[in-house]
Amino acid sequence: MRDGNPVRRALRRMQRMALERRARAFDADALRRPAMVFAPHPDDETLGCGGTILQKRRVGAAVRIVCLTDGAGSHPDLLTHDELKAVRAREVRGAAKVLGVEERDVFLLGFPDRELDACLEAAVARVAELLWRHRPEQLFVPYARGEHRDHVSTNHIVREAVARVGLPVTLFEYAVWAWRHWPMVGFGWTWRPALAGAVSARVGLRMARQFRTKVLIRDVLAQKRAALARHASQMERRDAQPRWHTLEDVDGGQFLACFFEDYELYRRIDIAAS
Ligand SMILES: [Zn+2]
């Protein structure tokens, strides 16, 4: 169920439009640069950057997708670890295909879901090897604040690998769970203690200051939706199982709506060669 309060809805719309207005758009040259998209879990690549991947592939840019974890922790008591791992690997390959990325350009590193921080050294080595081999100029990584712990770990892993390889790159940080902070979603949709609300608002306001790069995705929204639909384990309740949570359940659909606006927004960080 969506937030039916028209005042809150109008405020959210104004906030989003202000964010988009202040941000600088990718130019044609930036769109053509080779990129590597780092997803902590299968589906993050589509949620965070699906529209950008589509736009880049349209102009022939090389895009590779690297999934750090196997995603087997999403519904642990409903499917076995091996079943979930196989399902999510199949889904991310299917989504990548819809986004225009071939199977040979999808790398599934298979680290354990929710335990990426226990594998930092091995993950940095794998990522450094991929950076060295493919020489992407743009890296899309999760934002490190207000995010799931695997997302924070992915940010650290990629930054460490970049430092190790020493090649110049531009990082584009994308948000997934951090979109749940005010002002990106309404303040009143769920009860929160005042302190937690204030902390949340600090994350949200920081994001609003830092996310100053945008890619127009309005004309590829249908394909982005089609790609996300390939992540069926995250989008559909399996066997009408009430305990099977979907992304649509999060904040009554407000969360999912954040990814289907006219623009994808990023925090840009240029890293010089070392
Ligand atoms: Zn994730």
Could you report the per-residue pLDDT of 111-147, keeping only the tens digit for each?
999 999 999 999 999 999 999 999 999 999 999 988 8
Mean residue pLDDT across the chain: 90
Q: Mark the residues whose beta carbon lies below 5 A from ion ligand 1.
A: 40-41, 44
Buried b (16+ CB within 10 A) or exposed e, 100-128: bbeeebbbbbbbbbbebeebeeebbebbb
Residue type, 30: A
Percent of the chain with pLDDT over 70: 92
Residue 155 has pLDDT above 80, yes or no: yes
Residue 189 has pLDDT above 50, yes or no: no
Q: Which two tokens stand for residue 206?
A: 């920081």
How many angstroms separate the alpha carbon of residue 142 from the centre of ligand 1?
Answer: 9
Specify which of 54-68, 173-187, 233-247, 249-263 reaches the highest per-range mean pLDDT. Answer: 54-68
How many angstroms separate the alpha carbon of residue 157 from the centre of ligand 1?
Answer: 15
Percent of the chain with pLDDT over 90: 67
How many angstroms separate the alpha carbon of residue 26 from the centre of ligand 1?
Answer: 25
How many angstroms separate the alpha carbon of residue 109 from the centre of ligand 1?
Answer: 14
Average pLDDT over residues 101-108: 98
Domains of the chain listed by start with CATH number: 24-179+211-268 (3.40.50.10320)
